[in-house]
């Protein structure tokens, strides 16, 4: 009798858990509709490239100010990452303007790594794409580090701000200390390997998490001690804030991740009533290389992963090695999917694919070395 009662209790608990897990899932039909809305089958090509083979461009973020579009992006120089600004009138032709966050020599925690991403970007699909302000300031999250080289640990997340226009070249002011670090007392199992990477900060006026500001960030970590096979995996998790200055982790587990490899660099748009996270994957069990995909949510916390075709993947000489790291927007009926294109020589630039055929870019990596 007790065994039967235990079975019945277990059944109801399991049923409740399944019902709860499916409560916020997005239907397959809705996911297909989203895919049809955001897909960009036409690769226009490179829109930003470095001046030489030593520097590498990465991680575009797009916003609009007045009649111009602006892109913040990263340049890796061998020493580390700096954050730069460029300008465009048509989203296809870009002009470099200058640095926003530069290297330092003052012995600070972020002297040699300042990889920035504009915060409070407009999440409205086909919206105005203006940057939002809080407390009279524009904000930028970034990952920083004191060591020289390519993504050398430790890397932590900081916040920068300005009370000037974000469309001018300036050195953004930065908080004195990181807001999230792998040495924090509440660090999660999936971010315990001393590398916190890209972060995206949005405003949620409905406070679905109980807080107005939500950060998605990816980090390196695993639950196995000193397991070399898994220690490099990356997953996307959440943090929340009420004032942009103090951040606390949200939930114990990542919200978008895979059993193997990298899931990272999430950026957010809201299409009708559905939140969409564009992100990149790399070195998965069932997919080679690096590629861009999406997930969807109705509450910013529970995400349904798209299981169909990649949004962006390697197909051209200029992105033959990797085609990854999204920023996606819609303007005047055309979807623009900006991404980091990496050729076989590991030259890195910014490329774009579109939902309509807009021709082909004439831009190429220096010396035509795109093979």
Q: Would you say 85 and 48 are in contact if contact means Cβ atoms under 8 Å apart? A: no
First to last CA, the chain: 72
Beta pairing partners, 205: none
**How many angstroms separate the Cα of 249 from the Cα of each of 39, 42, 67, 223, 236?**
32, 38, 37, 17, 12
Coil/strand/helix, residue 111 = coil
Query: Which sign, positive or negative, has the C-alpha torsion 150, 154, 156, 158?
Result: negative
**How many angstroms separate the Cα of 69 from the Cα of each of 77, 89, 92, 196?**
25, 6, 10, 29
Whose tokens are 């939500």? That residue is 214
Output DSSP code: residue 155: B
Check residue 302 and give its pLDDT: 98
What is d(CA 101, CA 82) in angstroms, rounded to the nearest whole number?
6
Query: Which sign, positive or negative, has the C-alpha torsion 93, 203, 151, 177?
Result: positive
- Indicate the burial class of 359 (C-beta count within 10 angstroms; 0-12, 13-18, 19 or more): exposed
What is d(CA 64, CA 220) in angstroms, rounded to the nearest whole number?
32
pLDDT mean for each 10 residues of the chain (371 residues): 38 34 83 99 99 97 98 98 99 99 98 99 98 99 98 98 99 99 95 96 98 98 68 92 99 95 98 98 94 99 98 98 98 99 98 99 82 42
Whose tokens are 């992006």? That residue is 73
CB atoms within 10 A of CB 117: 25
Check residue 14 and give its pLDDT: 37
Domains and CATH numbers, the chain: 53-368 (2.115.10.20)
Give phi and psi for 217, each to the nearest 5.
-145, 155
Longest dimension (CA), the chain: 80
Strands in 301-343 per DSSP E? 304-305, 322-331, 334-342
What is d(CA 88, CA 68) in angstroms, rounded to the nearest whole number?
6
Nearest to 261 by CA among 237, 300, 287, 297: 287
Which two tokens mark 119? 């915060």
Whose tokens are 């096979």? That residue is 229
Beta pairing partners, 268: 277
Which two tokens mark 254? 């990542």
Which two tokens mark 11? 């059944």
What is d(CA 241, CA 160) in angstroms, rounded to the nearest whole number?
15
Which two tokens mark 222? 């695993």
């Amino acid at each position: 009798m007790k065994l039967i009662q235990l079975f019945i209790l277990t059944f109801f608990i399991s049923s409740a858990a399944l019902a709860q897990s499916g409560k916020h899932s997005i239907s397959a039909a809705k996911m297909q509709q989203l895919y049809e809305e955001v897909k960009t089958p036409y690769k226009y090509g490179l829109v930003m490239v470095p001046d030489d083979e030593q520097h590498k461009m990465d991680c575009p973020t797009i916003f609009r100010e007045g009649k111009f579009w602006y892109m913040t992006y990263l340049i890796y120089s061998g020493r580390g990452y700096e954050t730069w600004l460029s300008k465009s009138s048509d989203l296809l032709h870009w002009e470099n303007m200058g640095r926003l966050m530069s290297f330092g020599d003052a012995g600070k925690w972020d002297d040699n790594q300042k990889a920035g991403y504009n915060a409070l970007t407009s999440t409205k699909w086909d919206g105005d794409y203006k940057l939002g302000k809080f407390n009279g300031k524009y904000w930028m999250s970034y990952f920083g580090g004191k060591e020289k080289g390519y993504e050398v640990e430790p890397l932590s997340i900081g916040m920068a701000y300005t009370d000037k226009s974000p469309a001018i070249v300036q050195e953004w002011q930065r908080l004195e200390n990181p807001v999230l670090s792998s040495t924090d007392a509440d660090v999660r199992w999936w971010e315990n390997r001393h590398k916190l990477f890209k972060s995206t900060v949005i405003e949620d006026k409905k406070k679905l998490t109980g807080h107005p500001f939500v950060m998605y960030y990816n980090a390196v970590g695993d639950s196995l001690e000193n397991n070399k096979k898994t220690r490099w995996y990356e997953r996307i998790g959440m943090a929340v804030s009420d004032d942009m200055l103090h951040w606390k982790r949200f939930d114990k587990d990542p919200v978008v991740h895979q059993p193997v490899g990298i899931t990272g660099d999430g950026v957010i748009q809201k299409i009708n009533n559905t939140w969409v996270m564009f992100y990149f994957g790399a070195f998965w069990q069932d997919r080679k290389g690096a590629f861009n995909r999406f997930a969807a949510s109705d509450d910013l916390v529970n995400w349904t992963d798209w299981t169909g075709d990649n949004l962006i993947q390697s197909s051209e000489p200029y992105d033959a090695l990797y085609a990854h790291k999204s920023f996606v927007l819609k303007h005047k009926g055309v979807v623009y999917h900006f991404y980091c294109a990496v050729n076989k020589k590991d030259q890195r630039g910014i490329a774009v694919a579109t939902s309509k055929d807009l021709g082909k870019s004439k831009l190429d990596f220096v010396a035509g070395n795109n093979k």
